[in-house]
Amino acid sequence: MMDRRHLLKLMALTGSLVIPVGRQAWAAVGDDSAATRRKLVVVMLRGAVDGLNVVAPYGDANYARLRPTIGLARPGQDGGALDLDGYFGLHPALASLQPLWEQKKLAFIHASGSPDATRSHFDAQDYLESGTPGRKSTQDGWLNRLLTVLPGAASPTRAISIGPLMPRILAGRAPATNLAAGAAGTKQSILDRPQIGSAFDQMYQGSDKFASAYQDGRDAHKEVMTASMQDEMQAANGGAPLPNGFPNDAAHLAKLMRNDPKIQIAFVALGGWDTHAYQGNGKGLLANRLMPLGQGLATLAQGLGPMFDDTTIVVMSEFGRTARQNGNGGTDHGHGNVMWVLGGGVAGGKVYGDWQGLGEAQLHEGRDLPVTTDFRSVLAQVSERHLRLSDQQLAQVFPAMPAASPGLNFLRS
Amino acid sequence: MKLPIRFAMLALFSISSLAATAAPLSSDQQALHVLDRLGYGPRPGDIDMVRQMGVERYIDSQLHPESIPLPAALSARLSTLDASNASAGEVLAEFLAVRKVANDGDEAAKEKRREVVGKIVEQNAEARIARAIDSPRQLEEVMVDFWFNHFNVYAGKGLDRALVGSYERDAIRPYVLGNFRDLLGATAKHPAMLFYLDNWLSTANDFQPGQGRRGAAQGQKAKATGLNENYARELMELHTLGVDGGYSQKDVTELARMLTGWSFEPRELVRNNRTFRFDAQRHDMGDKEWLGHHVAAQGQGEGEFALDVLAMHPATARHLSYQLAQYFVQDNPPPQLVERMAKRYLETKGNIREVLRVMFHSPEFLAAGTVGAKFKTPYQYVISAARAGHMPITNVRPLLGAMNQLGMPLYGAQTPDGYKNTEAAWLNPDALTRRITFATALAAGRLPLNKPAGQDGNAAAAPVAAEPPLDADSLLNTLGPAISAKTRATISNNPAALRAAMVLGSPDFMQR
């Protein structure tokens, strides 16, 4: 029998003495990452994307009638839609998403949106972010409320947003962080210099108003720096940098999420969808916006690697646009739109929602898609089935929500 | 039993609200407050100047900017900015010429385009920033920022790159303290707005474009055949009534019909500087039912009627008063103050100066709880730092760069609602770090502000001009009560070389 002293000596020599310590550390991280294992990424298209040209009902004869010059050509034709199910077709600029559709990891919910009738961008975005359509007094955003009910420890990097401003959707009492788009988000900060950091730490500790924002910024910066440094070591085998804009940010986001298990929620807002004139069909203004969006989403899915299995990505916009093109080859403000969901748990390869067609009698106010699926039903399903919220927790995130639409089962399990 | 309790409660209430607001402001605090709100904060000596002049007199003089002479140096500087002084037509001509050539692809043409467009963009920015920092007519500059933002156009959209300078100079600046109807009409007829919100393309639904009649030269517009609702909606939602102003989708469509034919032609703009044209052929000649009015067809008069109605609508009075009070007083402005301002607005038929006068002389404006209650926007933060530092600035690029970094590029708000001015919009963890980074570079003299303009084509590669670092004691003197005793104590406990950065990066300097 080996004596105790000998055993200790042996462990020290082989380095295995670190095991118990390492184990504890691993266990702690393990708990944390179990709580934050299931990820949610929300992409918001500000300005009301024309959902009827994202997922085009080319199978409805009215589609071509309503959109003589901006309608997508039928699948197979030049600049034509990419067929999804024999009735709906995907905008050709989104070809990079076709593999995900085929792998059944991408689904759409058509004619979805807010029950509130406003056609104001700013009110509609506000409601989409507060999660309380029609109610302006809500102070916080639903992603922030979600953070307050998710199990596990709060941390400033549990939810991150890419962009210079903290979005309305993340406003509230749970900490969250916004990072600059592009490389600037993970650059060294002047506060990393010890003397300067300490000077400003002293000054902000005493500030009633700004102490917590300052401290969150400091903590998040340290964490994100660590995550991106790890990334630099791994980047040697990583892919080449992508063109600017969203694909780049998406690649960046994927790496941060891979390297920092604490990041669970991410939000990105992209603008430029308010196409009142010359939006084009298979090519043109809208196509030029959709192309990097599709590439970015594909990059994100790919960059997350196995983590994509535990991730749901939701793409949404404040409202849809008129079914009929206007005189300027564009579309005006409408109502129902299409929501996109991507992820390992998505029962994809299908267009969901209660689709009623584009006949004059089916159009809402004779001009746009009616909303047949409340956007909150979509978000609720993600919260319940993917993030495992209880009914009670769900009611905190989406108060006063109507009963979910039966038959809307776009998530497996 | 009931009455005494209620009385006691009431008494308690008024005591506590007194305690919160009644501590009288010192004369330095009052001077600082008006410098922070009617302007972009103090320059060296400003607090003394206002104190000696008296706060009331300072407010009155600011309400009459024509009574305050511009410094000769500023006027001379502005007069050298030929692109920013040129007519809308001249600038557009230059812009279209290089755009057309550059589309054909050769490298020299592209370089020329960068040069021409770069000059236009930079001179517009320089004119705006030089005035914001150096003009003693501070309220005028603040109001230019306020109204430009209220009637926002995005410089990144097509022709607006060339038109935005004229828009600010010709459609905004002359009216910032005048009558709102004039301001509204000037923005409605400026090509920058007509282009930005697509009204220049909007026609009656049954309009048939003329067969080849100057068609090709008019480009996009020649092909336009139908109604575009974009401007009509934002005109009611953002510019006048407000989103809850009580109009329907039908009112949006009818107003869009009334405004058909409000347009401009790039060719005529280039040739004769004709900025607006009512095109009767594109106008919808049917009768309209709008906001409860029956509007018989009368061409351009319908649009003028709509602007008259919108400008004098009680919802507009409230909407504008709320926005002004939110900008100048509190993020959640006191409703009674907004009501009084709206009342004055209607009494004076939309006289902006009189509405401001009511606001600046209100107890709410000068209340202790109002002082420091606004979180500076990035624009206000950068300009106020430049004013406090009072360093010579010949190159505004580093300041523009800072505004980009802080999320508020000049002329860069993409959506028609412009930038918000509330703490909720701008205070976030990343923002504080970035402001501190800017403050540190500015204080250390590391920003190339003193470089002769035009010599830094590549700002990153150019050697950084050495500038003296800012002096912390002068800054503290300039800012007076803006920097609290507590913050001053922390600053004095740190190395001298860091102190100026600490002043400009302090929590105190983030607010106004």
Summarised one tens digit per residue, pLDDT across range A249-268 is 999 899 999 999 999 999 99
| Cβ(B435)–Cβ(B510) below 8 Å | yes
pLDDT band at A406 (very low <50, low <70, confident <90, very high): confident
Structure confidence at residue B100 as a pLDDT band (50, 70, 90) = confident
CA-nearest residue to A329 within chain B is B224
pLDDT at B161 over 80: yes
- Chain A residues with CB under 8 Å of B441 CB are 190
Q: What is the pTM of this model?
A: 0.90
pLDDT on residue B454: 52
The interface residues of chain A toward chain B in range 47-76, judged by CB-CB distance below 8 A, are 47
pLDDT at A278: 93
Does the pLDDT at position B181 exceed 80? yes
Q: Is the pLDDT of residue B7 over 50?
A: no
Q: How confident is the model at residue A188 (pLDDT cuts 50, 70, 90)?
A: confident
Q: What is the pLDDT of residues B259-300, one digit of tens each?
A: 999 999 999 999 999 999 999 999 999 999 999 999 999 999
Give the other-Cβ count within 10 Å of B367's Cβ. Answer: 19
Q: Which residue has the higher pLDDT, B213 or B47?
A: B47
Q: Which residues does chain B have within 8 Å of residue A196's beta carbon, measured at their own beta carbons?
A: 440, 498, 501
pLDDT at B460: 46
Closest partner residue to A328 among B228, B237, B495, by Cβ?
B228
The residue of chain A with its CA nearest to that of B197 is: A276
Least confident of A145-154, B15-24, B111-120: B15-24
Q: Is A122 touching B (CB cutoff 8 A)?
A: yes
| Amino acid B218: pLDDT | 55
Residue B101: predicted pLDDT:
74
Q: Does A166 touch chain B (CB under 8 A)?
A: yes
pLDDT at A165 > cutoff 70: yes
As given in the structure block, the two tokens for residue B83 are 């692109």
Lowest-confidence region among A31-40, A110-119, A312-321, A383-392: A31-40
Rounded Cα distance, B506 and B40, in Å: 17
Residue of A nearest to B486 (CA): A206
Band of the pLDDT at B426, cuts 50, 70, 90? very high
Average model confidence (pLDDT) across chain B: 91
Mutate to test the interface with B, among A70, A173, A210, A275 (most CBs of B within 10 A): A210
Predicted local confidence at residue B4, as pLDDT: 43
pLDDT at B450: 86
Which of the residue ranges A25-39, A149-163, A308-322 would you say has the lowest mean pLDDT? A25-39
Mutate to test the interface with B, among A155, A222, A326 (most CBs of B within 10 A): A326
Q: Which two tokens stand for residue A125?
A: 């975005």
pLDDT digits (tens, 9 = 90+) for A297-319: 999 999 999 999 999 999 999 99
> Considering CB atoms only, which of A123, A178, A199 is closest to B428?
A178
Query: Do residue A276 and residue B405 have CB atoms under 8 angstroms apart?
Result: no
Nearest CA distance, A408 vs chain B (angstrom): 31
**With contact defined as beta carbons under 8 Å apart, do A166 and B428 qualify?**
yes
Average pLDDT over residues A236-244: 37
Nearest to B417 among A122, A179, A189 (CB): A122
Structure confidence at residue A245 (pLDDT): 85
Q: Look at residue A381 and tell me whether its pLDDT is greater than 70.
A: yes
Task: List Cβ neighbours of B443 (8 Å cut-off, separation of 6 or more).
Answer: B389, B469, B470, B500, B501, B503, B504
Please indicate if any CB of chain B lies within 8 Å of the CB of A365.
yes
Q: Give B127-147 pLDDT, tens digit per residue.
A: 999 999 999 999 999 999 999
Q: Cβ separation of A195 and B495 shorter than 8 Å?
A: yes
Instruction: Please tell me the predicted confidence (pLDDT) of residue A228.
Output: 77
| pLDDT: which is higher, A400 or B256 | B256
Note whether A326 contacts B: Cβ–Cβ < 8 A. yes
> CA of B128, closest CA in chain A: separation in Å?
23
Output DSSP code: residue B356: H
Q: Which of A401-405, B40-44, B370-374, B418-422 has the lowest mean pLDDT?
A: A401-405
> Above pLDDT 70, what percent of chain A?
87
A219 pLDDT higher than 70: yes
Cα–Cα dist B201/A260, whole Å:
50
Q: What per-residue confidence (pLDDT) applies to B221? A: 77
Position B250 pLDDT exceeds 90 = yes
B102 band by pLDDT with thresholds 50, 70 and 90: low
Q: What is the SS3 assignment for chain A?
A: CCCHHHHHHHHHHHCCCHHHHHHHHHHHHHHHHHHCCCEEEEEEECCCCCHHHHEECCCCHHHHHHCCCCCCECCCCCCECEECCCCCEECHHHHHHHHHHHCCCEEEEEEEECCCCCCCHHHHHHHHHHCCCCCCCCCCCHHHHHHHHCCCCCCCCCEEEECCCCCHHHCCCCCCEEECCHHHHHCCCHHHCHHHHHHHHHHHHCCCCCHHHHHHHHHHHHHHHHHHHHHHHHHHHCCCCCCCCHHHHHHHHHHHHHHCCCCCEEEEEECCCCCCCCCCCCCCHHHHHHHHHHHHHHHHHHHHHHHHHHEEEEEEECCCECCCCCCCCCCCECCCEEEEEEECCECCCEEECCCCCCCCCCCECCCECCCCEEHHHHHHHHHHHHCCCCHHHHHHHCCCCCCCCCCCCCECC
Check whether A68 has a pLDDT greater than 50.
Answer: yes
Per-residue model confidence (pLDDT) at position A234? 44
Residue contacts between A and B (CB atoms, under 8 Å): 151
Q: At what angle do helices B335-347 and B352-360 cross, to 10 degrees?
A: 150
- How close is the nearest chain B Cα to the Cα of A128, in Å? 16
Contact B201 A179 (CB under 8 A): no
With 90 as the cut, is the pLDDT of residue B16 above it?
A: no
Residue in A196, A333, A368 to test binding to B, most B beta-carbons within 10 Å = A196
Q: How confident is the model at residue A292 (pLDDT cuts 50, 70, 90)?
A: very high
**pLDDT greater at residue A352 or residue B112:** A352
pLDDT number for residue B24: 84
Characterize A159-195 residue by residue with b for buried, 16 or more Cβ atoms within 10 angstroms of its Cβ, and e for exposed: bbbbbbbbbbbbbbebbbbbbbbeeebbeebbbeeee
Percent of chain B surpassing pLDDT 90: 84
- Give pLDDT tens digits for B439-486: 999 999 999 998 765 544 444 444 555 678 999 999 999 999 999 999
B85 vs A3, higher pLDDT:
B85
Strands A159-162 and A177-179: parallel
Radius of gyration of chain A (CA): 24
Q: What is the structure's pLDDT at A25?
A: 36
Contacts of A207 in chain B (CB under 8 A): 507
Find, in chain A, the residue whose alpha carbon is nearest to that of B372. Answer: A209
- Tell me the C-alpha distance between B279 and B204, whole Å: 11
Contacts of A173 in chain B (CB under 8 A): none
Mean pLDDT of chain A: 88
Distance between CA A183 and CA A202 in Å, rounded? Answer: 29
| pLDDT for A230 | 62
State yes or no: pLDDT of B52 exceeds 50: yes
Nearest to B430 among A46, A178, A209 (CB): A178
